[in-house]
Structure 1
Amino acid sequence: MASMPDWGTLPRMLRHQAERYPDAVVVADRGTTVTMSELRAAAAEIARGLLALGVGPGDRVAMWGLNSAYWVLHAFGIWDAGAVIVPLSSRYKGIEAAELITRTGVEVLITGAGPAETPLADRLPRLPGLRHVVRPDSGLRGSGTRIPLSEVEDRALAVRPPNLCEIMSTSGTTGTPKGVMLDHAQILRGYWDWSEIVTLDEHDRYPVIAPFSHGFGLNAGLIACVLRRATMVPTPLFTPDALMSLIASERITILAGPPTLFHRILDELDRASWDVSSLRVAICGAAAVPAALITRLVERVGLERVINAYGLMEGTVVSMTRAGDPVAVIANTTGRPVPGIEVMIVGDDGRPVPPGARGEILQRGYGVMRGYWDDPERTAEVIDAAGWLHTGDVGVLDGSGNLAIVDRKKDLYTVNGFNVSPAEVESLLLMEGSPAQVAVIGVPDPVTGEAGVAFVVPRPGVALDPEALLAWARAEISNYKVPKRVVVVDALPTNVNGKVDKLALRRDSRAMPDG
């Protein structure tokens, strides 16, 4: 595997790339292109504006908007200012964004385009600690002329490899999302190695469909493209026909997403004649990928590689399949640990289990997060004294070291590639006012992979309308968190410990008619 240059930080990496490859096109966004030298110049101007607002080293700056060139420029501007980016999902509604902004102490929020016509900033309630909201029409470029460019350069070069570069929100089982702290060194190394295995290089054109607010979109998309001088094509919203048109018109070579994305592409190919001959690599991160899907992608599309991988926000990249792996390995496992990462499977007693036995996946190495923001107790719950991250996922290592993900120890489910915390959805639905109790479970769904079902006990004297509750949820919380169905019940089943018996709810959900 090729060694990564000794950059250490994202600002130094950008300067190296811009000096050596100034004309490399790193962003192609609906007719707008950005070269490496233009990215560096824009980032410095944005950092200048942030310094003028009083942003200091290590301060948190939130970024809120759909994938776009604007997002890319401002992300590198935040890093040039020595600040830490706190990405907010464009799907967030006001209460979700406000909670993360307040918890991480964000004082400056940069907003870009949102999925609806209403400006994103207008969704927020008034937040006392938020000093500045930068809207797309105001911007930061040209706003910091009183700050010498030399001061920006000094700030950028003062960033050190162990300094935090991002705080990523991740679903939790307690109802409150956690802020995962990641530093410059581990992000650079993790996604250099990821790109090496994927064979991403300067000849590739890569649509980043995963939101930049998500760890994959930001790190394996935005950052990886600058690392490898690939041209990223920010994709604000996914629709199958628009993606097919994009692949044909932009001569896309790399594509990443959940299995549902690739099923939809194959469906489109069955319906119409699209030119997808430029595609060469598919990255399909999932616990299991149907072998028939892999075979169809290779035969129908002509792909060189289909790659499966496993990672988590707290541990960056853990394992990946490699060139030459047979279809059975790609379909049933997430490959072998990446360089610098150890994986161990342990039983309920905490001791390693033999190959082929199930147990919790533990991970150790450079990719393990620096902890949860301002939450040492929850950090200590998942990272033990020996440095092992307890992932909460259940897996099996085979005799060749391939890791299969077989279950979740945590109570999360996944909708279109997004992890959903039932506890978080439960606490959000209670805000509507009519439920007294809520229990949410994930169930299999043919379109989204999994979907939520909410079992709701109404407050005394309240006639709870499931459709009204769902309408409220669609208006107030991210679309992927909105349950597919609300079931009104008189009481929730409990186990011998008095906790809600979600196994019983799953049995009940299987007995329900589809709808």
Structure 2
Amino acid sequence: MTTTVRWHSIPELVRDAAERFGDAEAVVDGDTRLTFAELADQVRRTAGAFASAGVGPGDRVALWAPNSAEWMVAAFGLLTAGGVLVPVNTRFRDEEAHDIVVRSGAKALLVQNGFLDREFTGPPGVPVIDLKSDGRHGFLGSGDPLERKVGEDDLADIIFTSGTTGRPKGVMTTHGQTLRLYEEWCDLAQLRAGDRYLIVNPFFHIFGYKAGLVASLIRGATVLPLAVFDVDRVLELVEKERVTVLPGPPTLYHSLLEAGGGRDLSSLRVAVTGSADIPVELVRRITTELPFRHLMTGYGLTEAGTVTASRPGDPYEAVATTVGRPCEGFELRVADDGEVLVRGYGVMRGYLDDPAATAAAIDPDGWLHTGDLGELDAEGRLRIVGRKKDMFIVGGFNAYPAEIEGFLMRHPAVAQAAVIGVPDARLGQVGKAFVVPRAEVSEAELIAWAKERMAGFKVPCHVEFRTELPLNATGKVMKDRLS
């Protein structure tokens, strides 16, 4: 069965959302409140502004700014002008960002100066536009209304990988791929019209941009952007704006569990998370200690979007221990070495200007080699056991950090855990755990506890306690900073 998508492009979706949802709130960002009709009007005027600035069909524009109403207007305005969006990680330093702007061939760079007390610069020869000082009453919304014809096979965006394992690569995706996949995502997440969707995930990442902004337009949900994760601000917005949908990385739910006491969180209905290292214990606590009535777990990557997801009605154990079954139009298999391979319409068109990397990632039969290690259960649900690069070998036995972290998270004194392999003279490698405690516990106590629950080769030989773990802007632990 093939899903029939109602729209040929994201700009067509913006226009249709205005017709369907009209005066309902599309975005609430501080004092800014825009209806779907107002959003569509500003998007068309911003498309005109881009056209006046010389942005034509297929031209790239980079957007280096935090979550905001202006980001939303700028991104959809650019796409409506026929341009290609290049989101840039807000945590990148100037040299990293400039590399992406130059390699993408961006004709302009949009920034928000003052965010994180920074001034954002552009590489030589690339015009820089400030979203706030030149924002909705400046550059954005300043043009004559325009909507260029854009097709489902046209390139919509080039999203660069995080760069944690090498130089970031630009992933190319079309309008049609995005619309088909995230319409299904809305069904799986049970997103519906009138939902109040607090988006903590950065817009420069597919979780915030596609499973956030695009999904909200598909269903008529109100977007509440959050520029920087702050648990007190999240709790305040949940209460004040009656937030119903709150996806995020595992760290978000850790924070809610630790700080949610005394707050009215009763409006929360939908949680969505997914990761190679989400502990089973955390899934249990989300569903029993917080008011969420639906929890979706899933697995995705920039190169293919959301590949698998749990289904409404799945048994608790399946939701807790797997990332669900493949989304419609995806094939999934596990190679002999345990690597997860993916094939289907959602797989990227390739890496920008890098045919060698594209050929290394997508084999001649169309299978995308994800770099993740997994297992399939009897019902075809995927269990992620780690990253190929993260696996370490202890005396000839394969040890998977994600599995070990899941065990450690069951200890009542452990709030967060990250495990890496370190050199060992006798065994070649052994595990070292970095632990953020929630209560008093010693290294010896934790190791002794672990020995009772897992095979000896999996038990960390070293434990280092930290007040926090180094996280990237999408909430993933940066293990290259642990040693």
TM range (shorter): 0.7 to 0.9
Q: Which residue matches 1:253? A: 244
Q: Is the 8 A contact 1:79 1:85 kept in 2?
A: yes
Q: Which residue matches 2:321? A: 332
Return the TM-score normalized by structure 2: 0.80
Q: For residues 380 and 2 of structure 1, do their structure 2 counterparts lie closer, same or farther at Cα, with a shift above 3 Å needed? A: closer
Structural RMSD (CA): 3.0
Give 1:412 deviation, angstroms.
Answer: 10
Rounded to whole Å, the distance in 1 between the matches of 2:232 and 2:169 is 35
Q: Which residue matches 2:23? A: 23
Say which SS state the counterpart of residue 191 (structure 2) adopts: coil
What code does the residue aligned with 2:357 have?
R
For 1:350-429, what aligned pairs fall within 5 Å after superposition?
A: 359-410=338-389
Q: Which residue matches 1:321? A: 310
Say which SS state the counterpart of residue 386 (structure 2) adopts: strand
Say which SS state the counterpart of residue 387 (structure 1) adopts: coil
Q: Which residue matches 1:355? A: none
Q: Which residue matches 2:180? A: 189
Q: Is the 8 A contact 2:420 2:433 kept in 1?
A: no
1:294 aligns with 2:283: yes
Give 1:89 deviation, angstroms.
Answer: 1.6
Give 1:292 deviation, angstroms.
Answer: 3.7
Give 1:233 deviation, angstroms.
Answer: 0.5
Q: Is the 8 A contact 2:432 2:463 kept in 1?
A: no
Give 1:494 deviation, angstroms.
Answer: 12
Rounded to whole Å, the distance in 2 between the matches of 1:103 and 1:194 is 31
Q: Which residue matches 2:454? A: none
Q: Which residue matches 1:45? A: 45
Q: Which residue matches 1:487? A: none
Rounded to whole Å, the distance in 2 between the matches of 1:289 and 1:276 is 22
For 1:218-257, what aligned pairs fall within 5 Å after superposition?
A: 218-257=209-248
Number of residue pairs matched by the alignment: 420
Q: Which residue matches 2:78? A: 78
Give 1:120 deviation, angstroms.
Answer: 2.3
What code does the residue aligned with 2:197 have?
Y
Q: Which residue matches 2:330? A: 341
Say which SS state the counterpart of residue 34 (structure 2) adopts: strand
What code does the residue aligned with 1:130 have?
V
Q: Percent identity?
A: 40
Q: Is the 8 A contact 1:310 1:320 kept in 2?
A: yes
Q: Which residue matches 1:32? A: 32
Q: For residues 13 and 412 of structure 1, do their structure 2 counterparts lie closer, same or farther at Cα, with a shift above 3 Å needed? A: farther
Rounded to whole Å, the distance in 2 between the matches of 1:450 and 1:280 is 29
Rounded to whole Å, the distance in 2 between the matches of 1:140 and 1:79 is 17
Rounded to whole Å, the distance in 1 between the matches of 2:289 and 2:235 is 14
Q: Is the 8 A contact 1:260 1:447 kept in 2?
A: no
For 1:16-165, what aligned pairs fall within 5 Å after superposition?
A: 16-112=16-112, 114-121=114-121, 124=122, 127-139=123-135, 149=145, 152-153=146-147, 155=148, 158-165=149-156
Give 1:117 deviation, angstroms.
Answer: 2.9
Q: Which residue matches 2:202? A: 211
Q: For residues 87 and 380 of structure 1, do their structure 2 counterparts lie closer, same or farther at Cα, with a shift above 3 Å needed? A: same
Give ranges in structure 1 of 5+ residues lacking alignment.
Answer: 349-358, 414-443, 456-492, 496-501
Rounded to whole Å, the distance in 2 between the matches of 1:227 and 1:257 is 19
Q: For residues 52 and 134 of structure 1, do their structure 2 counterparts lie closer, same or farther at Cα, with a shift above 3 Å needed? A: farther
Q: For residues 312 and 60 of structure 1, do their structure 2 counterparts lie closer, same or farther at Cα, with a shift above 3 Å needed? A: same
Say which SS state the counterpart of residue 246 (structure 2) adopts: strand
Q: Is the 8 A contact 1:107 1:132 kept in 2?
A: no
Say which SS state the counterpart of residue 118 (structure 2) adopts: coil
Q: For residues 96 and 246 of structure 1, do their structure 2 counterparts lie closer, same or farther at Cα, with a shift above 3 Å needed? A: same
Q: Which residue matches 1:475? A: none
Say which SS state the counterpart of residue 255 (structure 1) adopts: coil
Match of 1:175 among 166, 184, 192: 166
Q: Please, which moves more after superposition, 53-62 or 22-31?
A: 22-31
Q: Which residue matches 1:417? A: none
Rounded to whole Å, the distance in 2 between the matches of 1:111 and 1:95 is 15
Rounded to whole Å, the distance in 1 between the matches of 2:314 and 2:358 is 36
Give 1:143 deviation, angstroms.
Answer: 5.4
Q: Which residue matches 1:265? A: 256
Q: Which residue matches 1:202? A: 193
Q: For residues 145 and 78 of structure 1, do their structure 2 counterparts lie closer, same or farther at Cα, with a shift above 3 Å needed? A: closer
Rounded to whole Å, the distance in 2 between the matches of 1:68 and 1:194 is 23
Give 1:291 deviation, angstroms.
Answer: 3.8
Give ranges in structure 2 of 5+ residues lacking alignment.
Answer: 393-407, 435-460, 467-483
